[in-house]
Amino acid sequence: MASLNAGKGKLNNSELWAGVAGLVFGTLVIWSGHALKVGSISDPGSGYVLFYTGMLIWILAVVISASAVVEGGRTFAELWAGTRWSKPFTVTVCLVAFSVLLEPVGFILASIPLLLLLLRAIEPVRWTLALPLAVLVPLGIWWILSRLLLIQLPSGIFHVG
Amino acid sequence: MDVLVSIAHGFGVALQPVNLAYCFIGVLIGTLVGVLPGIGPISAMSLLLPVTLSGTPESGIIMMAGIYYGSMYGGSTTSILVNIPGEAASIVTCIDGHQMAKQGRAGPALGISALGSFIAGTFALIALMLIAPSLASVAIAFGPTEYFGLMVLGLVVLTFLTQGSMAKALLMACVGVVLGLIGLDSITGQPRLTFGRMDLIDGIGLVPVVMGLFGVAEVLLNLEQVIKRDVLDARISRLLPDGKEWKASAGPIGRGTILGFFLGILPGGGAVVASFASYALEKRLSRNPERFGKGAIEGVAGPEAANNAAAGGAFIPLMTLGIPPNVVMALLLGAFVIHGLQPGPLLISQNPGLFWGIVASMYMGNLMLLVLNLPLIGLWVQLLRLPYNILFPLILIFSIIGVYCSSNNIFDVHVMVGFGIAGYLMRKLGYEPAPLVLAFVLGPMLENNLRKSLILSQGDLLVFVQRPISATCLLAAAALLIGPSLPSLRRKRELIALDEGA
């Protein structure tokens, strides 16, 4: 509770910024609903539910923000205090890079480095296990999907797989 | 007599070799994901959703259902032996189950858990067979007003039971509705929130959303902490409980079964609520409540029976009304839709083979689970020793492939990664993803029924309170929304609130 009150009245308050994000999202939804035509109660248009859901989001975001200002909330640093934040961060970067490279590079060539990186960089698995796993798992998946189930996986500009 | 003929027909479908094989694969995967902490039935089912396309609708749905109730069995093994819940519905089993294991009574704890689950699962199936057809015949008379009321109640119950702030849970539900409305308007055909992208014309897929929010986000959260698994080293002997243990467990199993089944039917409820409620009930009824938390077998038998009965009960609203009461059932609805089937009041009359086949397969699955969970316990213990640093890269690669194969579209992989990051941040900030996913599935149906009701009633809002079912549902929803402002109800809500992602 002490840490919650710490962010009271301060801008470095994760709860407050989450509420502000809600306000921005709610505004976008209200605007979209309005643009799509709200219609009337007897003839609701395409934007009817969006418009009123946006209003509800806005109200809830105001409640959350107000409660963050009055009661305080954890700072962003406190959210990750005592955790190994670099691990999820590394995995996130790997996943984003993989999703961008999957189509141009192809499944096999993108998956082998991804698996090797995840097996070695996060909590290192010994090389003698990491290497065969990183090579055999993508090859196994590719063989099952492409050969047995006839599901096409991206082969990339190098046409591997 | 009709029911008996239908059951026989169902067993005819379930006993076909291909369906038996799918059922076995389903319960095996279910046990596996139940045993392994960090992967739940939601991730496994969304991963395997595309696989259901390769077979008949019966086979695919039999497998998906098997994963769900299989995970209920498997989850207890991890709770008892490692004191880490394999999946959310087994959290309560940790309390007394692990204490029993530490006292050298792991065998009876595992035994009563599997046998209690089997008894409850069997009861739930019999009740499902008796209740579902009658409810379906009543539900034919339901109009858009009733459906709207039921869906609102389902969403509100889930937000009420979600851990943390109710405002945050409601906000998540609203975001889910908005995301569900992306794509073409089903009434006017107008594109909504597509930003000119063709990939969004059909909306966002359920699989990438669920895999991101539950699969990827869960991995990211697990990696933050050092997961230490203290697997019990002692040899497990005497799996069958003795007479005294049976006597102590009979009442909790019976009560847990009935309570769990009815909580499973309720929209927004499910196995997790049922297990918590059963534990609380047993503790309250016990002559020696101080034994709870110190290895009381009643604390294992009741909740384990309740979560399995709830898993069976949850099929009723989906099969008879077409409304998924929880996220797992929402995924099952996705499996029906993939095969061009619409669960609802007409499912039983139009596809009797499918309905009765699924029900009969669940009975076969329960029998298979008894064999898988008791004699093969040593195998599951070995599996628990698999380190997470090997497991998580495999979970991620299978998630990516599962999502890609569901649509053959790289856009879905981007969506999954995006929702994975969003889900991780949401959980860090105390926003639970379960209401979002249920609202994402119910959103389009909710909108459709609301607009139809308003058009048919020419804008008369009283129509929602003039029809008894809709009025009851909306009143109950209103009570749950207002309730948490009362201090006593707020405390009760905090006690039963769930961590769906656990």
Domain extents for chain A? Answer: 2-79, 86-148
Residues 57-116, chain B, touching A (beta carbon < 8 A): none
Q: Compute the Cα dihedral for B25, B27, B33, B35 and give only its sign.
A: negative
List the single residue in A with minimal CA-CA distance to B220. A88
- Residue found by looking up tokens 């090997």 in the block: B390
Chain B CB contacts of A142 under 8 Å are none
Burial of B20 (C-beta count, 10 Å sphere; 0-12/13-18/19+): middle
Burial of A127 (C-beta count, 10 Å sphere; 0-12/13-18/19+): exposed
What one-character DSSP code corresponds to residue B184? E
Q: What percent of chain B has pLDDT over 70?
A: 93
Predicted TM-score of the model (pTM) = 0.82
Chain B CB contacts of A125 under 8 Å are 387, 389-390
Residue A7 has pLDDT above 60, yes or no: no
**Residue pLDDT, tens place only, B287-322:** 888 888 888 999 999 999 998 899 888 888 888 888
Choose between A146 and A99: higher pLDDT: A99
Q: Cα torsion for B6, B365, B321, B183, to the nearest 10°? A: -130
Contact B455 A42 (CB under 8 A): yes
Please, which residues have CB within 8 angstroms of residue B140's CB and are 6 or more apart in sequence? B345, B346
Please answer whether residues A44 and B455 qualify as being in contact, where contact means their C-beta atoms are separated by less than 8 angstroms: yes
Q: Does B456 touch chain A (CB under 8 A)?
A: no
Contact B413 A102 (CB under 8 A): yes
Farthest-apart Cα atoms in chain A, separation: 69
**Residue pLDDT, tens place only, B139-165:** 888 889 999 998 898 888 878 877 778
Nearest to B188 among A46, A133, A149 (CB): A46
3-state secondary structure of B192: strand
Q: Does B386 touch chain A (CB under 8 A)?
A: no
Bridge partner list, B33: none
Burial of B353 (C-beta count, 10 Å sphere; 0-12/13-18/19+): middle
What one-character DSSP code corresponds to residue A84? -
Q: How many CB pairs under 8 A join A and B?
A: 150
Distance from CA of B455 to the nearest CA of A (A): 5
- Phi/psi for A37 (5° steps) reads 80, 115
**Residue pLDDT, tens place only, A91-112:** 999 999 999 999 999 999 999 9
Nearest to A122 among B190, B389, B447 (CB): B389
Residue B102 φ/ψ region, left for φ over 0, alpha for ψ in the -120 to 50 degree band, beta for the rest = alpha
Nearest to A29 among B165, B178, B454 (CB): B178
Please, which residues have CB within 8 angstroms of residue B256's CB and are 6 or more apart in sequence? B116, B120, B274, B278, B281, B282, B301, B302, B303, B304, B305, B306, B309
**Residue pLDDT, tens place only, B50-87:** 777 777 888 989 999 899 888 888 888 888 887 777 67
State the average pLDDT for chain A.
Answer: 89
Please answer whether residues B33 and B43 qualify as being in contact, where contact means their C-beta atoms are separated by less than 8 angstroms: yes
What one-character DSSP code corresponds to residue A7? T
- Amino acid B399: pLDDT: 84
Length reported for chain B: 502
- Residue found by looking up tokens 């029809």 in the block: B467
Chain B CB contacts of A67 under 8 Å are 165, 167
Ordered by start, the domain boundaries in chain B are 2-496
Chain A CB contacts of B174 under 8 Å are 53, 56-57, 60
- Amino acid B257: pLDDT: 95
